[in-house]
Amino acid sequence: MQRIKTVDEMRAAVQSLRGQPAAAGNGKIHGARSIGLVPTMGALHEGHLSLVRAAKDRCDAVVVSIFVNPTQFGPREDYDRYPRNVDADCALLEREGVDAVFMPDVMEMYPPGTTTYVDVGPIGERLDGASRPGHFRGVATVVAKLFHIVEPDRAFFGQKDAAQVAVLRRMVRDLHFRTELVVCPIVREDDGLAMSSRNGYLLPDEHEQALVLHKTLRVIQSRFAEGERSAERLLSAGLFVMAYEPTVRIDYLKVVNPKTLEDVSEVEGRALVVLAAFVGGTRLIDNVLLEEPFLVNVIPAQA
Ligand code: AMP
């Protein structure tokens, strides 16, 4: 596994990975070697590794980036104390058979005098974009840079960051990127807590309190399965559960359109329930998709 620090080296590595003979299968065009990219901020866990495995399944070569991107953190956020453990991360990635890890430093990604950023418009100001001004501008900018450097055929992201997925889909469409976005399901701890590099901040009793996020989403999902379609009533069922953990402070709990991130009042077809909350000083996010059941195979009783 190559460990790469500079943009030039990364470009050369991609060129050489593409030039190697393609393995059979992997859903790619015969003769062309496909590249999968998994962007991360490191402190890797099973959620990240699920993306790596999906990339291995669907691409001939896999590049993982590890970069704690300063432009997506607000001034009072956890950029300085964000967990960094590159050696442990590389050991995990090596075991997964990753071809190259791109771990540039900040000066490499943002050379002095950088003034160009990607602004995705109003969608970038919703949800985490409202709570963390500038967050999605930072995310879109760094992902655009990574796409230009690696030119991946496919890039793999987690449904865990559903708003990020919506923002990046918009960016890819608006800026005509050729990279296909592949979204992978949320990986959870056995107790239901969505895996996150920030879970390491939680004290044992905070971990216990944090389970209320998942419980809340599950209750909303079961109300939906029972036929409730009013966002207001779905949310009040959720708020009732959240009230069991009064120390957990809700940042937002909403039912939104998964593509635009705008609030919906009645769920028609699909909607996303998104939740962000502070547990102690740690901000956690989680979500669940609500989907109308498929009715195509239902056979009427009298048939
Ligand atoms: P991060 O390192 O937190 O920026 O995450 C890198 C990628 O891993 C993003 O696409 C995340 O959505 C994804 N990811 C993080 N946690 C999980 C999880 N629990 N399940 C699935 N994907 C995840």
Residue 100's DSSP bridge partners are 2, 63
The answer to whether the CB of 186 is under 6 A from ligand 1 is yes
Q: Check pLDDT > 50 for residue 264.
A: yes
CB of 14 within 8 A of CB of 63? yes
pLDDT in tens, 98-136: 999 999 999 999 999 999 999 999 999 999 999 999 999
State if pTM tops 0.85. Answer: yes
pLDDT in tens, 221-260: 999 999 999 999 999 999 999 999 999 999 999 999 999 9
Residue having the nearest C-alpha atom to atom 19 of ligand 1: 195
pLDDT value for 30: 52
Q: Check pLDDT > 70 for residue 296.
A: no
CATH topology for the 2-184 domain: Rossmann fold (3.40.50)
The answer to whether the CB of 158 is under 6 A from ligand 1 is yes
Q: Is 176 a catalytic residue?
A: no
Rounded distance from Cα 297 to ligand 1 centre (Å):
34
- Asked whether the CA dihedral 76, 81, 85, 89 is positive or negative, the reply is negative
Domain 197-291 class in CATH: alpha beta
The answer to whether the CB of 47 is under 6 A from ligand 1 is yes
pLDDT value for 138: 98
Q: Which of 30, 45, 48, 176 is catalytic?
A: 48
pLDDT value for 84: 97
The answer to whether the CB of 99 is under 6 A from ligand 1 is no
Share of the chain above pLDDT 70, in %: 93
The DSSP result for the chain, as a single string, is -EEE-SHHHHHHHHHHHHHSPPPS-TT--TTPPPEEEEEE-SS--HHHHHHHHHHHHH-SEEEEEE---GGGS-TTSSTTTS---HHHHHHHHHHHT-SEEE---HHHHS-TT-------GGGGGSTHHHHSTTHHHHHHHHHHHHHHHH--SEEEEEGGGHHHHHHHHHHHHHTT--PEEEEEPPPB-TTSPBP-GGGGG--HHHHHHHHHHHHHHHHHHHHHHTT--BHHHHHHHHHHHHTT-TTSEEEEEEEE-TTT--B-SB--SEEEEEEEEEETTEEEEEEEEEEPPP-TTPPPTT-
What are the domain boundaries of the chain?
Answer: 2-184, 197-291
Residue having the nearest C-alpha atom to atom 7 of ligand 1: 40
- Confirm whether 2-184 and 197-291 share one CATH topology: no
Residue to probe by mutation, ligand 1, list 92, 161, 186, most atoms within 8 Å of CB: 161
